[in-house]
Structure formats: structure tokens, C-alpha cells
Amino acid sequence: MKMSFFRKRKLKKEVEKAMLPPKKEDGKISQKSKVSVPEKQEKTRSSQDSAKINTRNVKEKKERKILPKKKFSILLERAGLSISLDKLSEIIFKSAVVINILISIYLIYFFSVNSGYSLAYVIVIMINLWLLGFIVLIISLWLMFYLFLDLKIYQRNISIVEVFPDFLQLTSANIRAGMAIDQALWHAIRPNFGVLAKEMEDVAKKTMTGMSLEEALYDFASKYESPTIKRSISLLIEGLNAGGEIGELLDRISNNIQESKTMQKEMAASVTTYAIFISFASIAAAPFLLALSSQLLIVIESIISTINVPASSGSAMAISFSQVGVKPSDFRIFAMVTLAITSTLSACIVATIKKGNIKAGIRYIPMFVFSSVILFLILNKVLGAFISQMF
């Protein structure tokens, strides 16, 4: 009876232990559950951040892997030209054909007037003109158009940066008047803003069609290769995301842009002496020296033609004078080509000194080249008349 009693008691304790929940394990489980909640939140945040980074990387890779045709279409859009690439290719091809026909007509006229050329030679020249010459002409036209596009984009960048501080100040005033940021941008547009007015209209249209304001502003900034515009738009987007005072931020950005413009003007004024010296050397000094050299060449040629040394049979050394190796007409061509090259380089150097960009010197090139060549021709005539009286 005693053994049965102890056995029953033992079995009862085992059953009670089996029925009770494990406290230590529950404590571990509760700690795990408490730790797992913030871990899950951190994991979700990190996954969201990684997703954003991945989307940005994908966009950058897509922008890098854009086809050349798409890139050229983007350049046309940046230059403000509404023309398709197929239409442009057709225009360039037809222009090359017309130019080649005109060159062919001139060559046929030249060969018909000047005798001494065989028919086989003429045929070879015409074949080379329509094969190699036509390809070179098309490539040259495409390069010229690309240069035109680059200059057009640069001019649009400059025109936007010029009025950008005024636009930001108007936007800041509208925000302080109680408008939302998108409405403030829309109402700050003025007709005298030019290219910037059209770009802001496109931004407003994109926001009305459902695109977010940040994406529309990012598209506008990425459209132009201007550090000022990109920095200003990036600061504006960061201010919008942070929820700060946008009006004060826009005022500060506008003041910084105006201060940088003032510093650039002061720097350009401090190096004006170098620009004047380079301009004088290329426009005045070089034409004068080349014209003087041309007249000296004519004088030397006339002196040599008058010297007559009789041939002596008993002399050990015979002195003989012949004509000058360089003709005055060839030297004139060389001088004008040299002046054109030096004037072009001088215009680019002056633009780099004053504006900080070589593209700004394109408009100076025709003025420099025309002035130097015309001055060379005038000085050549004046010095020729003056030296002819002396000799």
C-alpha cells in the first residue's frame, strides 16, 4: 500500500510538471519577440533604402547605356530644336548632294577650259569626288551641326543662369504670400525669362499630369550641363524633403548665385590687361610684321634681279645669284592663313580668360580673323607705297 501511495504521488508530480508551461523557455521566447520587433523595423527600413539605391543605380545605368540615336535626340531637345533625327539626316544628305553637284560642275568647267587633262584623269577625279569626297563631306556636315548644337546648348545654359536668381526671388515671394511650392513656381514665370520660362512651364505641365515635383525638377536640372542649376535644384529638393523654410532657402540660393557672378566679373576685370595684350598682338602687331616681311621680300627680290656678277674663269670661288625661293604671292597666302589661325586661337584664349569657357570665344573668332586679315592687306599696300619711294 505504501509503495502504491508513493508511486501515485510521484506520478501526480510528473503530470503537474508536464502540465505547467516552461517559464525559462517562455522568458527566452518573450525576449526574442521583444528583440524581433525593432529588428524587423530596421530590416524594412534598410530594405526600403536599398530599394531606393537600386532604383537610382538602375536609372544611372540606363542613362549610361542610352543608344547614340537617343543621345542625339536628347541633344536636340537640350538645344531647343524640334526636329526628328530622320528628317535631319535627310537634310544633311541632300545638302551634301547639292554641294557635290556644284563642285562637279566647277571641275567640269575647269577641265573643259584648261586643256592637257586626259579623259581617264577626269573620270578618276569625278569618281573620287563622289566616293571619298562625298563621305568626307557628310562627316564634315555632321561635325559642323554637332558644333552648332553644342554652342546652342551653351547659349541656353547661359541665358537660364542669367535670370535664374530673379526667378528664385519671385518664387520665394510667392511662397511667403501663402502659395504652395508648385503654384509659386508657376506664378513666378515671366515672359522676359526666355528659355527658363518655357522650361518651368514644362515642369508645371509634368506636375499637373501626375509626376511628382521632385522628379520634374530633377529632369529639368539633368537637361542642362550647368553646375549652378544642378546645385540649386538639388538644394531645393533636399529642402522640400526636409520640410524646412523654402522661401528663406530660395533667397539664400539666389544671393549665392549673384555673389558668384560678382566674383566672376571681378576676376575677369583683374585679367583684362592680359586679354588686351593678346588681342593687340593678334590683331595689330602680327599683321604689321607680316606685311613688313612681305615688302622686304619684294625688295630683296628686286635687288637680286639687278645684281649681275660676271663669270671669271680664274677665280677660285664663283658667286652666283638666282631668284628668291619664296614668291611674294605665296608668302601672302601663308601670311593670311597664319593670321587666321593665330586670330582663332587668340579669340579662344581671350574668351577663356574673360568668361572662363572656350565656347564663349566662338563669337569673337570672325571679328578677330576679319580684322587681322583686312589690316594685313591695308598695311601691305601702305608699306609697299612707302618702301617703293625709298628704293
237-286 pLDDT tens trace: 888 888 778 888 888 888 888 888 888 888 878 888 888 899 899 999 99
- pLDDT digits over 166-194, tens only? 888 888 888 888 888 888 888 888 888 88
Assess whether 358 and 330 both reside in one domain. Answer: yes
User: Is position 73 within any domain?
Assistant: no
Assess whether 149 and 166 both reside in one domain. Answer: no
User: Is position 75 within any domain?
Assistant: no
> What b-and-e string marks burial along 9-27, b requiring 16 or more CB atoms within 10 Å of the CB?
eeeeeeeeeeeeeeeeeee
pTM over 0.75: no
- Residue 181 contacts residue 241 (beta carbons within 8 Å): no
**pLDDT at residue number 30:** 44
User: Is position 349 within any domain?
Assistant: yes
Assess whether 358 and 289 both reside in one domain. Answer: yes
**pLDDT at residue number 309:** 57
CA atoms within 13 A on the CB side of 180: 5
User: Is position 43 within any domain?
Assistant: yes
Provide the 8-state DSSP code for 22.
P
Q: Can you give the residue range of the structural domain that contains 57?
A: 24-65
**pLDDT at position 35 over 50:** no
- pLDDT digits over 105-134, tens only? 988 888 888 777 778 888 888 888 888 888
User: Is position 57 within any domain?
Assistant: yes
User: Is position 97 within any domain?
Assistant: yes
Assess whether 291 and 370 both reside in one domain. Answer: yes
Per-residue CA distances from 18 to 8, 15, 22, 40, 154 (Å): 15, 5, 9, 34, 84
Domains: count for the chain? 4
Assess whether 48 and 112 both reside in one domain. Answer: no
User: Is position 19 within any domain?
Assistant: no
**pLDDT at position 87 over 90:** no
